Structure 1
Amino acid sequence: MPRLESISRPGRTKRRFALLMFVAALGWSGWLAHLHIAGRATPLDYLEAAATDLRMRLAGPRMPPKDVAIVAIDDEIVRREGGFPISRTTMARLIETIAAAHPRALAVDVLFLEDGRQPEADHALAAALRKVPAVLAAAAVFDEATNEGGIPVATAVHRPIPVIGAAALTGLVNLSEDAAGVPRHLPLVARADNGVAAHFVLRTAALAARSDPVLTEGQVRIGPAVIRLDLGYHLPLRPYGPRRTIQTLSAAALLDGTAPVAALADRVVVIGATALGGSDTFATAFDPVMPGVELLATGIAHLTTGDGLVRDARVRRLDGVAAGILAGAAVLLIALAPPLPAAILVLLLLAAWFALGTVAFSQGIWMSAALPLAAAGLPTLLCAVARQTLDRRQGLRLARSEQALRRLQPAALAERLAWDPTYLAAPLTREIPVLFIDLTGFTGQSERLGPVRTRALLKTFHDLVDETASSHKGLVVNFMGDGAMVVFGALDPDPAKAENAVRAASDLIVRTRDWIARDPELAGAGRALDVRIGAHSGPAILSRLGSDTNQQVTATGDTVNVASRLLAVASEAKARLAVSADLLTAAGIVEPAGLFDERRTASIRGRSQPIAVWLTREPARLP
């Protein structure tokens, strides 16, 4: 027969279940990976935001580059001016003061959208701006649902008034926030009504490098530096720390001369508001009220030094591959491995990925934490629930199967094999009593009774034999039609096994005779239906007989043959019980003459020497 028979149904079911869950996990993770690679917004963005903040805190603040500085329009200068915004005359003085230090570039994060009350102040501001390479702020209005290839499309752009705007370049100061409202990116370009509008930080970095930026797919080149970008030419933001981590000088102190203006020489200077109520603030991992000017300065530093985060299409594809691998591995573990080790291994896998992502983040590579966790989490949970359901069903099926199989073996033997499956894997020789019982005359009765009633009567007889043998610690190893074979002391050594065998033989005679007398259909059979027993004690071989896939525990050897032949001796003597003297001696019965009817010396076929046998027609009267 093909070896296919050796493959268990539970094993096939488990493998099919694992394959199904594996395919489902790959499908789920593939769909999530597609959304991630395409940059689609999903509920996972909230989890990613929390994980990114955690990674930033774990990595800790960093030393900012020294070639970027902030001039803060702080509370002091706002107090002197009597409110915000400060006058354009003061702004012109501030820019002229900074220009005297010859900075590499000046970025002014202040919107000049309306004509001032004093036109000469606007002209003075424009004149001051012409003394230094400068970039002015512009603001775009976006429809969040509108983009072209990931590039945001502005519905309107608010630029400086012409008088001031003509004196400098302009750039958008918009930031891109995540689902939690934390600024994560700067869109370096946007579609506008007159073409493409560059971002404030891109203009400033290019002006500082004295090189026009070159945007290609997934990156921007500014002079010799190449910065890898996220989808839609978005620059990932990684704040250096809490507010004022980037060197910050007070505008009031510069105008007073109490701050060294020379500290701004050959640096990129960013002017912006930090005054309470006078600036846009954002929550970051390091500071819940980070001024927007510091985030813009951070973006400029990333472009000029290349020390920002790398999260481009290649990193996103790596995230997708990792999501598929983790999801597939997790469900295979849950589906195939033992539950507790599998759960521990899955948790270790996910923890290892998060740890790897944290280390990579500290080195400037932004790998997704949420995508692999979500890709593996839901399939793993569903797989665990399905596995539990499947295991419960298989457990019930196995319990029913075990219950059915136990009926094919004596209860004591079934219990022994349950906790010791190797029992009798190797044959064992042991001194044991063996008892054969035969229901004589039953063949003729079965012709009269018919098959259905015959089976019912045999079932009753077998129950009687099994109950009687078990009550005397015997083991029915085989039912043979209207007969049975019983052994004693087979499972474990028992010093009372011989006595138990003699008592069991006597009880079997009494109980079988009473059963025949009580049954209406058997009572009329008279002496035609009776019971005979042959019993002997000696060395026997306990073993498993049969093939690798179909085995039976039994006893073999000379002792078994003698016990079987004693049935014939009992039949010839018209006795119900034939017991060898060896068994009676082993049972401690030294005077059998008072218990049995007669003693004979019987020749056993296949044996050279006869044996002594005690016979009785009535049950032995044991003390």
Structure 2
Amino acid sequence: MIRRTRLRTLLIALFGALCAAIWAIFLSLPHLGARAGLLDRFESGLIDLRFSTFGPVDLPSDVVVVAIDDAALADPALAAMTGRARLAHVINAIAAQNPKVLAVDVVLADAGDAAGNAALAEAIGSLPSVIAAAGTFPIVQAGSGLPVLENELWPLPVFSAAADTGWVNIATDVSGTPRHIPLMFLTSQGLQPALPLRAAALFSADTPEFDRNVLRLGARETRLDFGFHMPLRLAGPSGTVATIPALDLVEGRANGRLSGKMVVLGLTGTGLGDRFPTPFDGNTPGVELIATAISQLLGGPGLVRDDTVRRVDVAMAASVAFLCTFIVLALSLGPGVTLALGVLGLWIALIWLAFPFGWWLSAALPLLATLPPVLGAAGMRYVQERRRSAITDRAVVALKKFQSPALADMIADDPDFLSRPVTRDLVIFFVDLSGFTLLSQTLGPQGTEDFLKRFHSVVAREVHKQNGIVFNYMGDGALAVFGMRDTHPNPADDAMKAAFDLVAAIVALGTSQGLDVPLGCRIGIHFGPVVLSRLGDDRQQQVSVTGDSVNLASRLMEIAKAQGASIVATADVLSALNARPERDAAEIKTVEVRGRAGNVDVHLWTV
């Protein structure tokens, strides 16, 4: 029966685990295809938390930002120039420092003035340069994942003739935080590269090669997400990328700092240029993100989140959901939930620890894939265990009617209690009524039954009051033991106290029944080793206490009758006392015990 129940539990656990795995796979479908979904909202906060946990990273010194900030815009000399002339003046100052490549993160799409345009085009053309184009990409080309640009803003022909063009669009998540840099775009003029890719290729003098979701730039490989999107490893708060104010450059305070560098020029003044929230800073200029992307392509810290990583996400989410749900359904509620949360926590910890090594594994997916089925399984186990507990409680209540309540509790707490015999030193306590044969004739059958119930209740009350356990009722007698409960270390004292109280209670019982003859009893007590065991087969068992000590305690009843005593206790009991009994023995004798070799020292009380 137990094996059948266990097999049924395991089959239910397996079915529930399979359902959890199917749920995880269904939940993963948008993630597997890099489509926006519910997961992205949760993953946004969790990836930000990982950025915050591990903090900023160092970027290569090859990339430098030149910022046209509020100080430059407020400078009287620069403020007197037109926008194009001012930009040309700054670029000429950059060119004088002999950088290797210049990337201009400014979209030169408006008409401007002819003189300013000519001066700016000449400045841009004086060194290897990439200038910006921009647009919007509300849709993704089906099958390719490439962003399709709309509302395109191209630089004026006078500028595009002087430099290469690259697109500066950044892909953000639902919170507006930058997450990817698309490296290729579908435009009205065909496939066009992003500005970071153009600039990095120009700087390294390597031709970009795409192979499925891998970009090769010389000896460097960058693993890309769907649609040639590069996951962006945010470096830190604003200013993490090496930055030189444009005014310092124009006024000659930055000599030698741009030689051989990859320079990214952009607007950071108030109200100018794009700004984005990041885990490090709520207002990071877009030019710094472009510079970070270029650094990443040139070998700086990056993130890997491609189709392989997404498949690992799905496989592990399904596996963790399967395993955790199986554990909760297969084990009891407390250990099952603890172990399941431990398994989930271990995988989340591994996801966290993989981040500083450049791996962007989804933390939201295993959480959302695992917690709902685990909570459902835990609820199911809770209901099952409450139902089983109720059944067990009813069984224990019923068992207490056939066994001592203390024994019933021990068996309920430990079903294997006394599955193997145990030898212990206990106090054995026998009691029977004196003159019961004559009494039963007087009371009749029904009266005798009613009287015995009251007698047994008195025995149980006095024995249990002193921490004893009644093992058997035998007509007008009973067998009890003291010392089975380890929390009560003085069983001999308890037994003697119970004996005196029981004699008085039985006398009171006789008085309450209006008996013509005072009711008395005989009690035999011995302390010694006994064997506790279960008797019977696997279907029906009873707890038994056996051994010479039990036989001796039983024979003490005969001695009590022969000596006219109410209580007879062996010297072993008196030796085990921690305190003197409430009454001194009326007599101490050495007696023979029927059926037993040798004599026994006994103490007798007549109460």
Aligned partner of 1:171 in structure 2 is 166
| Partner of residue 369, structure 1 | 363
Q: Distance in 1 between matches of 2:272 and 2:79?
A: 9
Pairing partner for 1:586 from 532, 557, 568: 568
CA distance in structure 1 between the aligned counterparts of 2:497 and 2:419, rounded to whole angstroms: 22
CA distance in 2, matches of 1:76, 1:563: 105
Q: Which amino acid aligns with 1:236?
A: P
Structure 1 residues 12 and 41, CA gap change in structure 2 (3 angstroms) = same
- Describe the superposition over 1:251-309 as per-residue Cα deviations: whole angstroms up to 9, x where unpaired: 3443444432x432322221211111111111122222111111101111111124222
Partners of 1:94 and 1:349 in 2: how far apart? Answer: 57
1:328-371 CA distance string (max 9 Å, x none) = 45445555667666666666555554544443322322233323
Residue correspondence of structure 1 range 187-586 to structure 2 within 5 A: 187-260=182-255, 262-331=256-325, 334-335=328-329, 352-411=346-405, 413-414=407-408, 421-422=417-418, 425-426=421-422, 432-433=429-430, 435=432, 463-464=453-454, 466-470=456-460, 473=463, 486-489=478-481, 493=492, 494-495=495-496, 543-547=532-536, 549=538, 550-554=540-544, 586=568
SS of 1:246's equivalent? Answer: coil
Q: Which moved more, 1:272-281 or 1:138-147?
A: 138-147
Structure 2 counterpart of 1:111:
107
Are residues 512 and 490 of structure 1, via their aligned partners in 2, closer, same or farther at CA, if it must alter by over 3 Å? farther
Give the counterpart letter for 1:57 in structure 2. Answer: S
Tell me, in whole angstroms, the C-alpha distance in 2 between the residues paired with 1:497 and 1:115.
110
User: Which deviations, in whole Å up to 9, do the C-alpha atoms of 1:41-72 show, x marking residues without a partner?
Assistant: 23332332233233223323333212112222
Task: Answer yes or no: is the 8 Å Cα contact 2:455–2:509 preserved in 1.
Answer: yes
| Secondary structure at the counterpart of residue 320 of structure 1 | helix
Identical-residue share of aligned pairs (%): 34
The secondary structure found in structure 1 opposite 2:131 is strand
Kindly tell me: are residues 259 and 553 of structure 1, through their superposed partners in 2, closer, same or farther at Cα, counting changes over 3 Å?
Answer: closer
Structure-1-length-normalised TM-score: 0.73
Unaligned runs of 5+ in 2: 484-490, 570-584, 588-593, 598-605
Alignment deviations for residues 405-454 of structure 1 (CA, whole Å, 9 cap, x no partner): 112214454356567844994366865436599999x9xxxxxxxxxxx9
Deviations 1:516-540 (A, max 9, x none): xxxxxxxxxxxxxxxxx99896989
SS of 2:230's equivalent in the other structure is strand
User: Please, what TM-score do these two structures have when normalized by structure 2?
Assistant: 0.74
Q: How many residues align?
A: 555
Q: Distance in 1 between matches of 2:90 and 2:455?
A: 113
- Once the two structures are TM-superposed, the CA of residue 122 in structure 1 deviates from its matched residue by 2.9
Q: Which amino acid aligns with 2:34?
A: G
Q: Which residue of 2 aligns with 1:594?
A: none
Between 1:319-328 and 1:212-221, the stretch displaced more is 319-328
Give the letter for the 2:496 counterpart.
Answer: P
**Per-residue deviation, 1:557:** 7.7
Distance in 2 (CA, whole Å) between partners of 1:371 and 1:175 is 24
Match of 2:574 in 1: none
Letter in 2 for 1:75: D
Superposition map of 1:24-39 within 5 A: 24-39=19-34
Q: Equivalent residue for 1:141?
A: 136
Q: Distance in 2 between matches of 1:97 and 1:410?
A: 99
Could you say what secondary structure the match of 1:266 adopts? coil
Q: Contact between 1:33 and 1:320, CA under 8 Å: does it hold in 2?
A: yes
In the other structure, the counterpart of 1:524 is none
1:13 Cα deviation after fit: 7.0
1:125 maps to what in 2? 120
Aligned pairs for 1:80-119 within 5 A? 80=76, 87-118=83-114
Change (3 A) 1:13 1:114: same
Structure 1 residue 148: deviation in Å? 3.9
RMSD, aligned α-carbons: 4.8
- Paired with 2:404 and 2:552, the residues of 1 have a C-alpha distance of 23
Report the counterpart of residue 184 of structure 1 in structure 2. 179
Against the structure 1 CA distance between its residues 279 and 557, is the aligned structure 2 distance closer, same or farther, given a 3 Å change threshold? closer
The alpha-carbon distance between structure 1 residues 511 and 50, as it changes in their structure 2 partners (threshold 3 A), is same
In structure 2, the CA distance between the partners of 1:81 and 1:457, relative to structure 1 (3 Å rule), is farther
**Contact 2:73–2:79 at 8 Å: present in 1 too?**
yes
Q: SS in structure 2 opposite 1:365?
A: coil
Q: Which deviates further from its counterpart, 87-96 or 220-229? A: 87-96
Could you say if the C-alpha distance between residues 459 and 331 of structure 1 is closer, same or farther in structure 2, counting changes exceeding 3 Å?
A: farther
8 Å Cα contact 2:471-2:544 kept in structure 1: yes
Conservation of the 8 A alpha-carbon contact between 1:59 and 1:362: yes
Distance 2:94 2:185 in 1: 30
Distance 1:26 1:137 in 2: 47
- Please name the residue that 1:597 is paired with: none
Aligned with 2:130: secondary structure?
strand
Distance 1:85 1:414, change over 3 A: farther
Question: Does the aligned pair in 2 maintain the 1:101–1:264 contact within 8 Å?
Answer: yes
Contact preservation (8 Å) 1:154, 1:191 = yes
